[in-house]
Amino acid sequence: MAGRPGAHTEIGAGLGPLNGKIWRVGLMGETSSKANVKAFLSALAQILNDSGRKTDAEAALAAAAV
């Protein structure tokens, strides 16, 4: 799956029995800061909303703040 231009986030397909069922997001180590996770969730919500899939970005961001 292509990432949003300028987002610098890697998104890949699930592996093995999860292939086609989940996405893997490349946020590990120092890149997994709260700011980067929030930026990813905001960008993903925007992409999904732009594609006609209704998402609750505020709920996702609130969950990430925990």
CA 36 to chain centre: 10
- Per-residue model confidence as pLDDT tens for the chain (66 residues): 445 555 566 788 889 999 999 988 876 677 778 888 888 888 889 989 999 999 988 888 888 775
Q: What are phi and psi of 31, to 5 degrees?
A: -75, -5
Measure the CA–CA gap between 6 and 50, rounded to whole angstroms: 17
Q: What is the pLDDT of residue 1?
A: 42
Dig out the tokens for 35 from the structure.
């700011």
pTM of the predicted model as reported, rounded to 2 decimal places: 0.64
